[in-house]
Each structure stands twice: as structure tokens, then as C-alpha cells.
Structure 1
Amino acid sequence: MTNRTRLITAVAGAVVLTLGLSGCVSAFMPQEAPSTSTPTGESVDAALEPFYSQVLKWNDCGEGMQCTTATAPLDYGDPSAGDVNLALVRHPATGGERVGSLLVNPGGPGASGYDIVKTSLDFVTDDTLQASFDVVGFDPRGVGRSSSVACYEPADMDEYLYGLTTAARGTDAWIAELEASSAAFGAACAANTGALLEHVDTESAARDLDLLRAVLGDAKLNYLGYSYGTYLGATFAELFPDKVGRLALDGALDPSTTNYEVTELQAKGFENALRAYLTDCLAGTDCAFRGSVDDSMATVSALLASVDVSPLTNSDGRQLGSNALLTAIIYPLYQQAAWPLLTTMFQSVMKNDATDAFQLADSYNGRQADGTYLDNSSEAFSAINCVDYAYNDDPAAMRAQAAEIEAAAPIIGKYMSFGDIGCANWPYTFTGERDEIHAQGAAPILVVGTTNDPATPYAWAESLSKQLDSGTLVTFQGEGHTAYNKGSQCVNDAVNNYLVKGIVPDADPMC
């Protein structure tokens, strides 16, 4: 028996391991800020004017935060077709020299910018940015507190994410099972979400960014985007180059990559991160592995294969198959600080205990101890990716690509292939082109890349910084997904000087 394939075709998961990071709010109290916004009053198409001229009323929502809701067109091609709501939270600038608003997106797609700002402000921004900007978190269309994608009740979501197939991985029967599961999921999303499901694409979300910029009263957009949020920010810059203020894009996604290329490079990235973890683990005293790194990689491979054949049963009755175990392995690889969690998980799995593996997989998927889901991030992740990329579920093509992915990442690649199945029969299809983004005429844009980032490989940061006509690269030589505010003063200085003062590095500081 094999675990059903979970789509890992674009930047997977949130920017930050949320384990133990809730409640991180700055000790500084915000200065007095207007309770209503003052839109820029700029000239826009008549059909968009009611949206661009709306006045936001900010309400106190605790811990120095203020919240509000903006309205955007469901379809920018036909603004009269209906509205969507966009939830925002603001931490007003704490210093005396306010630069403006700084919109923050933590990635995903599907991660909540509202939640990350409200509960973990100090993790995504430091005191310097909080002093100079009104830090604004928002949930993009389709996500969280905004008009959102809805698909399954918790029990059905459990089956979709964790359920086991009966056929052997890669066989025609296995593919047919996954196609049926994915088709049912897509149909449920369409039935429960309605017209919004067609309009959760990144271009529409980027147009929302411009609308939010204007109603917040900023002539130019100041933006800090992590992971998938870099693609959202770059898309904004391509659509509105004259509205670019200061855009910092950390953990960059290459806009020109195909779904297959994303999967292949991520498989290699996570495999490299797993090797780095095992190197560190073997140098310690409580490692679950013995021998060389290659020996340990072989042990991981054997563990994945063993639960594919004989899943481990959890205390709640769920069975741990290979894909759930892969999720548990991948999640702590996002940040080096979480590697001890991976050690504990491997130790327990080797004793046929699935508890720690399910805790990690559940954290990744937003599943709570009572079986409910914290948010709709998994559903939004699929819905946004399915309309942002082109997919092909031809078995021959998928098998050829699977062989290439496994050759590139022999341990992890096998379990990250066949990803097209999840979206190939989605109710709405991708109609654009994945192409380079140049943002001709835009002000300087900062791109930050980490050399051993498993989720958004460093090559993507290099590529995006070169594509952008005004791109500047800042390299962090280290481990983990994203680099700003993660311990490198060099990176923090580069990003803060750029966002606060508009100072662009003369050359890559190679932090």
C-alpha cells in the first residue's frame, strides 16, 4: 500500500516553522495612527474607481494591532461580476519617521499574511522595519480570512491528505486511484467555493496588491515577500512597474519555471538539505543513524519503502505511509533550528512509533489535535497552483519525468513525482504562459537567496535577479528556507537599508 501523492509542485508550505513561534509580537507600542485610510485618489478605469476610492476603517483587534477588510473585484476583466473580501491586519509604525505601509506575504501559496503579522510579527520583521513602516499583513484572495477556497470537511480532508491507495506506486491502477481522488477533490472545491475558484490566480492577487496600495494611501508599493510571495511581488512589478516602491523578495521563485522543473529542483534541494542534516546529525551524540552519510541516506530510503509496504498505525487509527512520512521529513528541513525535531521523529519511526511523524505532518498540513484544520492553506495551495501552472497527466510523460526526478534525487525524488495528477483535471485550467519577468522601468528590486535553500533553490534567486531589469541579488551562504531576520546581520542590514532608506547594495554582499 502506498500513501496518496500530495501536490508538492510549487513552493511547499509556509515560510516559517510555526512550532513554538506563536505570540511573537514586538514589545514596542505603536504610535497613534489614523483610524481610517486616505486613498491616493489616482485615476483608474471607471469600473474600478469604486474599489480604488474605498475608505478603510481600522478597528482595534488586540496587542497593538488594527484590522479591517477591503473589497476587490472578483474578476478584474469584468469588475461588475461580483466582489471578494480581503482581510488585513496592521501594526502601526512605532517610530517618529514613518516611511509608509509595508505589505508582507509569507508564501505558500495559501499561507496567511494576516496570521503571520498578528501572531509572529517579530519573526517576519525586526524592530527597524516596525519603527519605519505600518506593517500590513493580508490574506490573498482564496486564503484564510479573505474570501476563501473551501473544499472538504475535516474527515474527508484527512482521507485526501493521508489516505492510502491499494495499488503499487507508479502502476496504472495507482494512477487511476489518484486521478479519482483528485477529481473528487476538485469537484468539491468547485461546489463549495463557487465562482471564486476560477479567480485565485496570482495575476488577480497581484492586481489586488495594487488596489491595497492605493486604498492604504501609498503612491508606490513597499513589499516584503517570502517564498511564493516573491512570485506575487514580481508579478506585481511586471504589471505595475511604475508603482514599484521598494520590493524585497526573499527565497525567490523563478517565474519562468514549469511545474516539472519546480518539482525536480525542489527534490534536489530537499535531498541536499537532508544530506546536510545527516552530516550534522552524525557528528552529534543522539543521532538515530550510524555509519556514513551515504549509509544514512540508504536507511532513510529503506524507511520510506518500508512504510509504503507496511504503514505504521497511529494512536488515532491513521496509518503512516511513505508520503506522510516524506512530509514529516521535509517540514523540519525548512529551517536548521528545527533539525532536532527531525532527529526525534526518526528515532520514534525506527521504533515503529508514528506519533512524532504525524505531529510533524499535521503541523505542515495545519491539522490540529482534535482533527480539525487550523486554516484552508492546503486547499488554497492546490487551488492557486492549479490555475498558475500547466499540467499533463499522460502516464507515459509522467513516468518519463518521474525517472528524471528520481535520477536527480534518488531518495526523495521517487515520492515527489507524478504531481501533475492533482491538477490535470482541475475545474479551471491555466491559460497564460510561464515566462520571465523583467518589470521594465521599475525601481530597484532586492532579491535574497540562500545557497542551500531546499524549497526555493538558490538558482531561482540568481535567475530572478537577472531577469528583473532592476534586480539586485543578496546571497546568504547557509542552510534553510529564506534568510531575512533569521540570524544574519549582513542580510538584515542589506534588506533594512533598502526598505527603509532606499539604499541598494553596490554589489552582492555574499553574507
Structure 2
Amino acid sequence: MRTRKRYLSLAAGLVLLSSVAACSGSDGAEEPTVPAGPVPEGLEEFYAQRLEWGDCEPYADNALAQQAFSGEGLECARLTVPLSYDAPQGKTITVGLLRKQASEPDQRIGSLIMNPGGPGGSGMIAAAQLSGTVSGTELGKRFDLVGFDPRGIGASEPVIECRTDAEMDAERADLSSMDGVNDVADAERDAKEFAQACAERTEHGEEMLANLGTRDVVRDIDVMRSALGDEKLTYLGYSYGTRIGYTYAETFPGNVRALLLDGAIDPEQDMLESLIGQAEGFANTFDRFVEWCVARDDCALGRDKAEAVGAYQDLVRPLLDDPVTLPDGRTLTYNDATTGTVAALYSQQLWPTLNQGLNGLRQDNGIMLMALADSYYERGPDGKYSSTYEGLIAIRCVDDPPVTDQAKIEEAQAEYLEKAEFLDPGLPPSSARDACAFWPVEHTSEPHLPDVDGIPPALVISSTDDPATPYQAGVNLAKALGGRLLTFEGAQHTAFLTAGDRCVDEAGVAYLVDGELPPEGTRCG
């Protein structure tokens, strides 16, 4: 649910032991016998494939991946899956995998497959970054940590292609859709061009776009589960990754061992409802940031909490007409300044960086805020972007029905800006339709409560002041899954292994390893 352009885009803005056998792997460890567990008819070839693990360096397509994949003990492979599961004998594509093997193979439970969210986030990078955190813990000892790049993303092939790096830079610098005159026409022209470019530039074109959503990702995961040798799936999903988790449980209820879902997407919310929910979340977290900031002598927003929103707007609104030029020739626009702010609200650890960036803006220095915005868009120091932003839009557009009613869009934008006042640019709300309204293929999913009768109880973690996935969404998802809710009290988007909270981490590990749920009503933080 990442956004930009005119305010916020609707698309862009979440116990059985496995078997092992005696085939030696790249480091002498035992490789699984495949297939494992049930195999859908006609897919035997895919479920029985043997993964060839090797060096991860060839899989790195950007600077962030290169750094992440250089970690010790990491190995990568490609999983072959049908482009369309309705035509499994037709075209095939590949899904990139990364793993860090269990350090105590004789105590190994199986694979812990993870997804970091987005949609469009790289699970390979996330798993590589998390591998050091779990090393030496019960998770690291007893599970192979496996991350994957969903179809069309990162190291998976083919990858979604919509904008060149230069075009992305130009789009971020363009404020024509916020000129208060032809903004709707400009924004919709850009949205149409983006949708058309995705279809024209992505290999397999519309066929790839039509089979890109969560419906197909969970089918890939089931192929992955078998190829890894796991009869049951143990899964860790963050943010949008929670949608992957509960969709898998609905599609393959008999194949679930454990689901830990952190930072939940509400399964019943449509795009507009999700947008409004995020407004409340970001506004609440901005308030928490303000409380932290005004207690500091160097607070960029002053020392009066009641005046902080106005102080913030006084800093960023001038960028609508007068962007700040950076030493490298790029310009910090209003959109990038607010994007950098939103990026910093995802974690309390970034609040000092945000304050530093806002103080810099007072001196016409936009370097820090641009760095935060670049991190949000995953733009590397070499100027290359990852596929996350394009993947987010493409996946959202095929996952949910498009919103085409301009009156409803304008109403939702007005409500968003009313709730998240700090993000109000001082312009009328827009009725512009986003790329999903012009998407060249039909959506493949609808918001609904998942039907997951018979699955083991899931563990859902929800943070009280989560900016991106509000707390109530976790409450709702836990109830829908018949699972257990664990509350983390903090201003943090996701908490398990990310917030440094021992209470959360111990509860999550106990669940994944032993299937032990925390007591009802457990609160951490």
C-alpha cells in the first residue's frame, strides 16, 4: 500500500514434521525427497522438481540485493511454475528462492517460508536480512529460513517492467498533477500510460499481468512447499504477506502446519476502506512522533504539540511551488518530502532521522528526506529501482476490484486528508482514477472473510499504533481465522523479530516451533 502522485493512489497504499531423505545437497546436508504432501492433478512435474541450490550473487538485481545476498551460509535456487495454472502444460516462469539452512539438521522441523509484504516486497532480501537475527535461536536451529520473490518480482523471471529508472525519477519530480488546474486530467493520463506500459514492457504482457495476483502466488507456495520437502506449510507473513497467508489457508487448508501473521490486512476491506484505515493509522503514528519530538530541544516542529501539524505543513507545502535542489541535481518535491515522512513513520527507530530531515529542510537541505523517500521506493545509490513499486501497483490491480466512481474517490480522498491532516497539501481533494481503473486485465480476487475451517489455530500479531495496518485489522483477522491475537503496544509496523521485543519474539518462536499459542489476551511491549 505504497502511494504517491496526486495524494494517495488507491492501488498503492497485506503439526506434522517434514520428511527428509538421503540425497546430498550443496553443503552435504540432506535434500528433501519430492514431491511431499498432496499433489494436484496435472501438476506432478512441478511438485516433483528438484531444486538446484547455489551461489546467490547471480540473483541480485540491485544494490540492496547484492548487499543482502553476501551473507554467510545463504544459497539460492529457482522454482519453475506454470504461468497459468489453468494451462499447466503451457508457458512457465520461475520464482526466486533464498534459504539459510537449519544449523541443527538432526533437530530440523522443516522450512519456514516467509514474505515481507508490499505487495511486491522481496522475500529473498527479507530472509537474507533476517537470517542473522534467527541465527543461533530455536528458529535458526530447527528451520530452514526460506524467502521467495513472488512471481514478477525481484529475482523471479520474468519481472514486471513498467517504468525505466529515468522515468521513475522524472515521475517523482513531476508535480503537474498537483497544479490545481488540470490535475485530474494529468493524473489520469499518467495512470493510463502506466497501465499500458506495464502490459507492453512486461514479458508475456497481459497474460503475465492476469496471473500475477495472490491467487497465483499461493499456488506457487504450495509447489514450493513440496519441492522443499515439507508435507505441511509453516509460514511467516508480514503486512500484505498476511493476505498471502490467509489466502493459502483458504486454498490449501489441509496443507497448513502453522501461520504467524504480523501486521494484518483486513480481509473484508476494499481499496477505499483500506485507504481510510491507513489515514487513521498514519495520523495516529504522526501524533506519537510529535509527542516524542516536542520533548526534544531540537524538534523541527517546535515544542508545542498543538502547533506541530501546522509547523509540518509550513515546512513541506512550499515544496509544491519551489522544490529544493539537491547536490546531485535531483529535486526534493512535496511528494518526496511526504513520502520520506511516511517511510519514517513505519518504525520508531527512524524518528530521529525524520527529525533530522525536517531540520535540514528548514535550511533548504533535502538530502535526508530524499534518502528516506528513496528507501521507500527502493532506489539504490546507483539510481536503480527495485521492482517493488511497480509490483505493488500491478498486484493490487489484479487482486481487487478497481474503483471507478469518481465521486466516491473524491469523497474518500477528502476523508483521508481530514483524518491525516498533516498530509493535506492545501489543495482540493482529487477525483482522479488510478492505474487500476485502466488495468488491461480483470481482477482475480475479491475482499471477503476467508473460509478456513479445519486449519490449525493461527497466531496474529497486531501493533496498537501500527501506521500502515491498523490494530483493528489484526483483531478482525484473528477472529476470522479462529486464531489467537497477540497485541504489541507500540508505534511499529510489524513486531515479530523486528521490534526487538523479547515478549513478542519468544511467543512467536514458541508457536512456530511447538505450536504453542500465547495465553488469551497476551500483550507485549
Say yes or no: TM over 0.5. Answer: yes
- Are positions 1:487 and 2:500 aligned together? yes
1:19 matched residue in structure 2: none
Separation in 1, partners of 2:431, 2:352: 31
Question: Contact between 1:89 and 1:138, CA under 8 Å: does it hold in 2?
Answer: yes
**SS of match in other structure, 1:67:** strand
**Compared with structure 1, are the counterparts of its residues 507 and 43 closer, same or farther at alpha carbon in structure 2 (3 Å cutoff)?**
closer
1:435 pairs with 2:430: no
Out of 91, 94, 102, which is 1:82 matched to? 91
Query: What do the CA deviations read for 1:354-380 (whole angstroms, capped 9, x no partner)?
Result: 22221111111111233222x211111
Aligned to 1:351: 363
Q: Percent identity?
A: 37
Matched residue, 2:51:
56
In structure 2, C-alpha distance between the alignment counterparts of 1:71 and 1:212, rounded to whole Å: 9
Q: 1: distance between equivalents of 2:122 and 2:271?
A: 23
Q: Specify every segment of 5 or more residues in structure 2 that has no aligned partner in the other structure, as ranges.
A: 15-24, 57-69
Aligned residues of 1:88 and 1:136 also touching (Cα < 8 A): yes
Q: 2:62 maps to what in 1? A: none
**1:452 and 2:446 are equivalent in the alignment:** no
Assess, with a 3 A threshold, how the Cα gap between structure 1 residues 227 and 459 changes in structure 2: closer, same or farther. Answer: same
Q: Describe the superposition over 1:28-50 as per-residue Cα deviations: whole angstroms up to 9, x where unpaired.
A: xx996646442135453442111
Q: Distance in 2 between matches of 1:240 and 1:161?
A: 41
Structure-2 residue corresponding to 1:398: 409
CA deviation profile, 1:197-252 (whole Å, cap 9, x unmatched): 22110111011111111111111100111111111111101111111101100111
Listed one character per residue, the Cα deviations across residues 60-119 of structure 1 (whole Å, up to 9, x for unaligned) are 446211211111111112212311101111111012411100001111111111112224
Do the aligned partners of residues 487 and 8 (structure 1) sit closer, same or farther apart at CA in structure 2, a change above 3 Å counting? Answer: farther
**TM-score, normalised via structure 1 length:** 0.90
Distance in 1 (alpha carbons) for counterparts of 2:136 and 2:460:
18
Conservation of the 8 A alpha-carbon contact between 1:222 and 1:245 = yes
* Structure 1 vs Structure 2 CA RMSD: 2.3
Quick one: structure 1 residues 66 and 322, their matched pair in 2 at CA, closer, same or farther if it must change by over 3 Å? Answer: same
> Following TM superposition, by how much is the alpha carbon of 1:11 offset from its aligned partner in structure 2, in angstroms?
7.4
Corresponding residue of 1:229: 241
Which SS does the other structure have where 1:90 is aligned?
Answer: strand
The CA distance in 2 between the partners of 1:286 and 1:413, in whole Å, is 24
Distance in 1 between the 2:445 and 2:129 partners?
Answer: 36
1:118–1:418 Cα change, 3 Å: farther
1:490 aligned counterpart, secondary structure: helix
The answer for the alignment partner of 1:192 in structure 2 is 201
Deviation digits for residues 157-208 of structure 1 (CA, Å, limit 9, x no counterpart): 2123332216534x5x201101111111111111111231221101110111
**SS of the residue 2:396 aligns to:** helix
Equivalent positions of 1:8-23 (< 5 A) are 9=10, 12=13
| C-alpha contact 1:227 1:482 (8 A) present in aligned 2 | yes
- The equivalent of 1:5 in structure 2 is 6
Instruction: Report the more deviating stretch, 428-437 or 204-213.
Output: 428-437
- Structure 1 residue 418 displacement after superposition: 5.5
Query: Which residue of structure 1 aligns with residue 263 of structure 2?
Result: 251
Specify whether residues 43 and 279 from structure 1 end up closer, same or farther in structure 2 by C-alpha distance, changes over 3 A only.
Answer: closer
1:185 and 1:326 mapped to 2: Cα distance? 22
Deviation at 1:310, TM superposition (A): 2.5
Query: Which of residues 149, 162, 167 is equivalent to 1:139?
Result: 149
Choose the corresponding residue for 2:437, options 424, 447, 452.
Answer: 424
- The 3-state SS of whatever aligns with 1:56 is coil
**Alignment pair present for 1:499 and 2:512:** yes
CA distance in 1, matches of 2:46, 2:274: 35
Shift of the 367–6 alpha-carbon distance from structure 1 to 2, 3 Å rule, reads: farther
Aligned residues: 489
Rounded to whole Å, the distance in 1 between the matches of 2:241 and 2:178 is 37
Bigger mean CA deviation after superposition, 391-400 or 134-143:
391-400
CA contact under 8 A between 1:88 and 1:137: conserved in structure 2? yes
Is contact 2:259–2:459 with CA below 8 Å preserved after alignment? yes
Does the 8 Å CA contact 1:90/1:135 hold for their aligned counterparts? yes
Residue aligning to 1:277 = 289
Q: Give yes or no for contact 1:273–1:453 (8 Å, CA) kept in 2.
A: yes
Post-superposition CA distance 1:369-397 (Å, at most 9, x none): 33222x21111111111111222244322
The answer to whether the Cα contact below 8 Å between 2:210 and 2:443 also exists between their aligned partners in 1 is no
- 1:129-157 deviations in Å (ceiling 9; x for gaps): 11110101111111100122112221112
Gaps of 5+ in 1: 14-29
Q: Is the 8 A contact 1:69 1:87 kept in 2?
A: yes
| Correspondence 1:245-324 to 2 at 5 A | 245-324=257-336
Once the two structures are overlaid, the 10-residue window that deviates more, 427-436 or 441-450, is 427-436
Letter paired with 2:154: G
- SS of the residue aligned with 2:144? strand
How far apart in 2 are the matches of 1:370 and 1:250? 32
2:171 maps to what in 1? Answer: 160
With the length of structure 2 as denominator, give the TM-score of the two structures. 0.88
CA distance 1:370–1:91, shift in 2 (3 Å) = closer
What is the rounded CA distance, in whole Å, between the counterparts of 1:277 and 1:499 in structure 2?
33
